[in-house]
Amino acid sequence: MKFDDISADIVATVSMGIAIRAIVSLYLYSGADKPPMFGDYEAQRHWQEITANLQAKDWYRNTTDNDLLYWGLDYPPLTAYHSYVLGIIARGYNNSFVELQKSRGLESSAHKSFMRLTVLIADILLYLPALVLLCCVLVRRNEQTTTLCPLLLAMILYPGQILIDNGHFQYNNISLGLCLLAVCAIYMEHIYLTAFLYSLALNYKQMELYHAMPFFVYLLSACFDQRRFFQKLKTFAFLSGIVLMTFAVLWLPWLSSSQAALAVLERLFPIGRGVYEDKVANFWCALNVVYKIKYKLLNQQMAMLCLGVTASFVIPINLHLFFNKSKETFALSLVNTAMAFYLFSFQVHEKSILLVAAPAFCLLNAYPLETLWFLEATVFSMFPLLVKDGLIIPFFVLALIYHICVKDMIITYFHLTKYSNKWLSAVSTGSSVSMLVIALVSLVVPAPSKYPFIWPLIICLYSFMYFFLFFVFCLWRQFACTNLNVKVRAR
């Protein structure tokens, strides 16, 4: 395939992704016409209001102008700075968008267009370029340029990120984009750039802790790869310096006292919310069906139990990475660590599955069918949330497009209908259809009065089964295939 043809295909694929995101943006969003708290849309708008009108020292503090009970800022400083920039732009365009205390619950057409555009711009400037670069580095490692556009299409048209960011309304595209750029930097052997980019991602959303251990272990292992002790020490010092300086610059307004810094940390890690809120497809919610563990233990006890169980999975995964350092092992450990956090950690939201889906993109060229199967399950797991947001039509349309168009293209380029993959392809197709059927039936068959949450619970348990199986599969690939150079199954 010629370079000009590849470039044209990339432009076409990215343009399609932008167009679909713009169309989804025309639908409803989290909390639309639902006072008094509205939803995530209002939370993001309110953060712009607070940051644009108050001094940085008051962004995380409860004051007369900043009621923390009304969508108090609970993300790290980089999110606050992003909100500040958007708030200043909004104030310059139309002051009513961020007028202090008077703009609460604003839902004008002009403001909706402004907010939707801010997400789309973040997609265009950061998230989509990160996917293009990731796809390029993955394909270059295997020297299979013919698979570039199918893989890119599978990443860009992934419905989960589109429905949550451009539908539900969030800016996951920024933290995930920064994280994926950090992954690209690792594949390109730029460890210092990796440290900087991942530090930015972690300072945008604290949920990026899902990915922290593999990055730390891989960079630490890179220090030990140096031949001389002085070189090891120098590399470690440079990496530590980059991380510390990045954090110091971003946290500077709250480093004047330990009390100010602790106030921010308390906002980032609220123990009082409980192990989970809505039905989420993880281990604790599934266990709660047969044993009401959520009501048997105090929040602090539950948090410690979650920490212990999560650590029991995360530590072996990353010890294995340290002693078997390779790009393939890193990708698998990134998925496995994120999945361990999703399945077993404290205070998990259904949207957190995006933190597993994003690094799973790195496995598309090695395990395309298994990964696509998992990605479809992640979208299905968020269906109750999407129903609540009025995003039913975008869910079904994007899910069908992804299953029919993307999967068929992947099968064409990866020969997945031959030999041992034939049965797997049939099973995955059947399971994907069953997810859509369950979603459809849940809309037309009312839940019995005795079990009003039966459909979200069925979706939760069904999704948990798929997530756990994919977790076991990735653990097996990581531990059983140490240092194997996985070849792309392409023609």
- In tens, the pLDDT along 386-400 reads 999 999 999 999 999
Rg of the chain in Å (alpha carbons): 22
Q: What is the pLDDT of residue 141?
A: 73
Residue where the block lists tokens 């539908």: 167
**CA–CA distance, 82 with 193 (Å, rounded to integer):** 21
Tokens coding 317: 């995964």
pTM: 0.93
Report CA dihedral (129, 205, 214, 148) to the nearest 10 degrees.
Answer: -20
CA distances from 288 to 251, 276, 291, 381, 459 (A): 39, 11, 5, 17, 15
Q: What is the pLDDT of residue 490?
A: 37
Q: What is the pLDDT of residue 397?
A: 97
Of 368 and 48, more confident: 48
Residue 278, pLDDT above cutoff 80: no
Share above pLDDT 90 across residues of the chain, in percent, rounded to a whole number? 72
Of 197 and 280, more confident: 197
**What is the average pLDDT value for the chain, to the nearest integer?**
90
List the alpha helices (DSSP H) in 228-367.
229-251, 258-268, 283-290, 293-296, 299-323, 327-344, 354-360
Q: What is the pLDDT of residue 483?
A: 45
Residue 332, pLDDT above cutoff 90: yes
